[in-house]
Chains A and B, each alone.
Chain A
């Protein structure tokens, strides 16, 4: 049985797709057979970030509609043979996603994958609802600003009341906070909420802080999940997150301001 992870946020543009690509790669690299699904029907972003956009033949909707088998639609990642991508359709609209259809696809994937990562679209509409409905774990991606935190809170309410686990009165979805695009110097200036502020508002288990980093854009431009850039701060942050998710105890990093060379040399 696969563990189904939804990467969600409510608010758009906070780093869900970046995170989905990174953690799916991280889990696969550690030898867990992983599938990552793009639920953002109509936009299709994940395949670009995974660098497989030219190999898309069939998509998630084709599988739901029975126009292609899951095996035909799944794209094997070029960096890691334990990782598969199920792309979204660019041509259909969101109504093509049905609860029954999504349920069937996830059930079939569960038979041979260990993790299924669902990249949710923004908002709280159908696509976002179906992405989280079947989840076991939720990675709630939040930026350190008030509107993003509020949207995450809203999403957490939906996770605890509108998911399959909630409807069946099963053990609730495990919720984790991923604080992304964190810039300690801006926190210090008071432009951004701090880790403590966000945790105080959401009271949620912090899985990791991902710093604001140029490496994210570089990675997505080259179609390689940032976690593979092991020298980058964001890559390391995602590495830590995967490790913590799998039960390793790692101290949090990227929360404090980077010391400049001057400060480092003179102990400022």
Chain B
């Protein structure tokens, strides 16, 4: 009589654990006011609704806890859900917060395991010194309407970016062609990120969440080579001469 085991030749394993690294946005909180959090989250998401839709996110409450602002995790998670994000981890929580997270089946990430947390301490082992190696992404074809690109380092595009296209980078963005779509640099909060383009016609420019839409750019260096950077929270568009 055939048994189940005979149907599985050589007892081939049905599963296997592998180690993979994923790049997941981290939501770092610096206010415990739920209304403000909700509003600012919405505002950020509206910059790139497609990108954020159902995006996994780890939320980081370390700064809050350092300032004795112990936020309620259940409410926070509800706000994140409402914004259309899927929380998949907590970082920097206290015991109670971690318990709350686990009750919601949200895993706990340790600050010390993550590469991009706080500056390295002097006693860190030499191999831990290397900063996360974020390679430059090079694209040599046009980015067309409806297409979206995300780079976790710098993004260099050797062609045009059409109206209706969206390019995002955690670092700098260079477009050696016409930039007619939306360009968002420093999307994880790097305020020193810059955007460079050959021919400015963008629908939206953003650095670390500070943005201008094309209506705010009227008259400024349209169709000229420019660089875009932040100066005291103001987005500066400057012609390259």
Contact = CB atoms under 8 A, between A and B. Distances in A.
Contacts of A172: 141
Contacts of B141: 160, 172
Of the candidates A157, A158, A172, the one having the most CB atoms from chain B within 10 angstroms of its own CB is: A157
Contacts of A161: 147
Given A156-B144, A157-B144, A157-B145, A150 B163 contact: yes
A157 B159 contact: no
Dominant SS at the B interface?
loop
Given A172-B141, A203-B142, A157 B160 contact: no
Given A172-B141, A203-B142, A157 B163 contact: no
A203 B145 CA distance: 13
Contacts of A156: 142, 144
A154 B164 CA distance: 8
Contacts of A136: none
Contacts of A150: 145, 163-164
B119 interface: no
Dominant SS at the A interface?
helix
B159 A153 contact: no
Interface in B137-162: 141-147, 159-160, 162
A1 interface: no
A161 B148 CA distance: 11
Contacts of A201: 162-163
Contacts of B187: none
B204 interface: no
A161 B142 CA distance: 11
B169 interface: no
Interface string B30-42: 0000000000000
A154 B165 CA distance: 9
A38 to B, nearest CB: 26
A251 to B, nearest CB: 27
A150 B160 CA distance: 14
Interface in A129-177: 150, 153-154, 156-158, 160-161, 172
Contacts of A158: 146
Of the candidates A150, A153, A160, the one having the most CB atoms from chain B within 10 angstroms of its own CB is: A153
Interface of A: 150, 153-154, 156-158, 160-161, 172, 201, 203
21 contacts: A150-B145, A150-B163, A150-B164, A153-B146, A153-B162, A153-B164, A154-B145, A156-B142, A157-B143, A157-B145, A157-B146, A157-B147, A157-B162, A157-B165, A158-B146, A160-B142, A201-B162, A201-B163, A203-B159, A203-B160, A203-B177
